[in-house]
Amino acid sequence: MRRLKRPFAAAALLAGLLSLFVAPSAGAAQQNGEPVTSLDGLVLRPAHPNQVKGGITTMADEQAYLLGPASDPTRCLDADLNTINRNGTKVQLWACDEYAAQQGWYIRQIPEGYYRLQNAYSGRYLDADLNTINRNGTVVQLWDYVPGAKNQWFAVSEIPEGYLRLQNVHSGRYLDADLNTSNRNGTVVQLWQYVAGAKNQWWF
């Protein structure tokens, strides 16, 4: 299993195929947070999305990243292409493809110290559905940027095993790959209460 602590070369970390990115003013990107190259000190897996939505707000040299669960390391966090052009886009796991823009995520730290995850394909943000947020099984989706929306904020912490937990700030529940639909494309991604030792809540 590939661990995050294995270092990537600096060139790999910054290899974003810069011509693929839109280059608006730096101030526009910073409204949504500051780009990061690691989370809680752990190096992330770079993605190289081959398609980025026109007008997406990114820094000129900003790198997108892949994220996937330790329970199923061959699959990555993925925005469903059938619903990607609207709010409420389904978020799932799918076979990892570093060139698939719907699996690329811009990760930015906001002034409050939390993180927002922006999908490279649509420009929408990882979002916990407010209609289901007060229970286990909260729907995780993509939604337009909403200023101050804590359901789009995630706290990140490293665990001793060398992975990350992503905790939604609104509910306190964790990003979770559904065990009932695991080990296949289309695995449901949801929020769930903390479960000790649950590799489906460990991300890299």
Domain count, the chain: 1
> Can you give the pLDDT at residue 27?
33
pLDDT digits 0-9 by tens, 27-57: 334 457 888 777 777 778 889 887 665 445 5
pLDDT digits 0-9 by tens, 3-12: 333 223 323 3
Q: Evaluate whether residue 67 is within a structural domain.
A: yes
Q: Evaluate whether residue 33 is within a structural domain.
A: yes
DSSP letter assigned to residue 203: B
> Can you give the pLDDT at residue 52?
62
Mean predicted confidence (pLDDT) in 165-174: 99
**How does DSSP assign 42-58, residue by residue?**
EEPEEE--S---TT---
Give the number of other Cβ atoms within 10 Å of residue 78's Cβ. 28
Handedness of CA 141, 156, 191, 128 (dihedral sign): negative
* E strand segments, the chain: 34-35, 38-39, 42-43, 45-47, 64-66, 75-79, 89-95, 105-109, 115-119, 125-128, 138-143, 154-158, 164-168, 174-177, 187-192
Collapsed DSSP state (helix, strand, coil) of residue 18: helix
Residue with tokens 């040299």: 61
pLDDT at 23 over 80: no
Q: Evaluate whether residue 5 is within a structural domain.
A: no
pLDDT digits 0-9 by tens, 109-161: 999 999 999 999 999 999 999 999 999 999 999 999 999 999 999 999 999 99
Q: What φ, ψ does residue 10 adopt, rounded to 5°?
A: -60, -35
Tell me the residue range of the domain where 30 lies. 10-201
> Can you give the pLDDT at residue 176?
99
Q: List the CATH number of the domain containing 178.
A: 2.80.10.50
3-state percent helix, strand, coil for the chain, nearest multiple of 5: 10, 30, 55
Report the alpha-carbon distance of residue 201 to residue 136 in Å, rounded. Answer: 13
> Can you give the pLDDT at residue 84?
98
Report the alpha-carbon distance of residue 203 to residue 187 in Å, rounded. Answer: 15
Total residues belonging to the chain: 204
Segments in the chain forming alpha helices (H): 10-14, 26-30
